[in-house]
Amino acid sequence: MSTPVDPGFAEVLQLIASARLRAVQAVNTALIDLYWQVGAIISHKIETAEWGEGVVNQLAEHIASTHPGLRGFTRPNLYRMRQFYEAYQGQDLVSPLVRQLPWTHNLIILSQAKLPQEREFYLRQAAQEKWSNRELERQFESALFERTVLQPAKVSPVVKYTHPAPQHAFTTTSPNRAHAH
């Protein structure tokens, strides 16, 4: 026979779970900030010709030899950090979003989004909806951005005829269509 469970136990367990979640989020934010800073250093050094492309490989080897247990600083990952920095530098609205998501989410978005608007869309949605990696990939596969942002809403032929408009928000209007009101 089990002893009765005190109702206060659930409250304590909730506090533990909440603290663990905050700790994971703090670690994630610190890692994203680290990757951003490493990417910035690599980007600036290569841009100013202080470093050639081969130096990144030397850096990866140096990190591996001086910190053998440290993972995640391979040559490809260092280039991803550079790409991460270069994709989002100067985008003050997006910067807080990338810190809300795990590194893997950021890599998925960087590798699959074609436009800056698409990256921002998926960053916002993934953070808001708390998507898993698998769900984020599924949303890319289902072309959520294209379906919700790029394609026009379904309207009746009569409305299309009486109110012609550009086909989607990110195309430029040609001179011939600009006067078709």
User: Residue 177 in 3-state DSSP?
Assistant: helix
pLDDT confidence of residue 153: 61
Per-residue pLDDT tens over the stretch 159-170: 666 656 544 444
* Segments making up each domain of the chain, as ranges: 7-89, 92-181
3-class SS of residue 61: helix
* Dist CA 63 CA 27 (whole Å): 21
| Predicted local distance difference test score (pLDDT) of residue 94 | 84
**What does the alpha-carbon distance between residue 181 and residue 164 come to, in Å, rounded to a whole number?**
6
H helices present in 67-174, as ranges: 75-88, 95-100, 103-112, 116-129, 133-141, 144-145, 157-162
Q: Give residue 179's pLDDT band: very low, low, confident or very high (50, 70, 90).
A: very low
- The overall average pLDDT reported for the chain is 85
3 state DSSP class of 74 = coil
- 82, exposed or middle or buried, with CB in 10 Å at 0-12, 13-18, 19+? buried
